Amino acid sequence: MSTIGFLALPSITSEAQALFDEDVAEDGYVMNVSKLWSHNAALVTNLFDLMGQSIADQNLSFRQRGILVAACASTLGDSYCSLAWGSKLAGVSDPDLAAAVIRGGDKGLSDEERELASWARKVASDPNHTTSQDVESLRTAGFSDSQIFAITAFVALRLAFSTVNDALGIGPDAALLETAPKAVVDAVGFGRSTQT
């Protein structure tokens, strides 16, 4: 029996094949997460559509989204998304900045970016202990209430995606580990091990 994480590999549907084809076109291989989500490919497609809708028209740059994902994934202890998005963040900034965000630091971030990282970490670690002052800090950094709602929904949806992957035993792809900047790899000393 072939497995992915803790589950058997499902039969490949046309929806799953579309996920695989997209991975190969973008990354050159089929990602472990796509194999796992092929159990319900429409669900992951809808989840990512929802993530996109949550931040649509909110003027968040790719770098800002990278900071949000790297900060929330590393706080959760998700090695897969920390490596993937740490690498993406390194590509639009530098590897040391991405590694700092993964480690929970803010070196190299603007005041606005520090607030984003701080908020993502709070949402990921203990959303019941956020305060109105935390939200006010985001406002002071220049974010509107609509943006704050969108950022929070985006982080929560990313956490849902990571939680499914982590709970079902999915580790980062070996190819991802090979292509990630060394500083990012060194910063990710947590979560699931690399899988082939």
> Which ranges in 28-130 belong to alpha helices (H)?
32-37, 41-55, 62-76, 79-92, 95-103, 111-125
* 119: amino acid identity, one letter: W
Instruction: Tell me the C-alpha to C-alpha distance, in Å, between residue 108 and each of 33, 91, 93, 139, 173.
Output: 30, 14, 9, 21, 28
Q: Kindly state the average pLDDT of the residues 86-108.
A: 97
- pLDDT > 90? residue 196: no
- Whole-angstrom distance, CA of residue 122 vs CA of residue 183: 24
Q: What is the pLDDT of residues 9-35, one digit of tens each?
A: 999 999 999 999 999 999 999 999 999
More confident residue, 196 or 117: 117
Q: Residue 1: its pLDDT value, please?
A: 60
Q: What is the pLDDT of residues 128-187, one digit of tens each?
A: 999 999 999 999 999 999 999 999 999 999 999 999 999 999 999 999 999 999 999 999
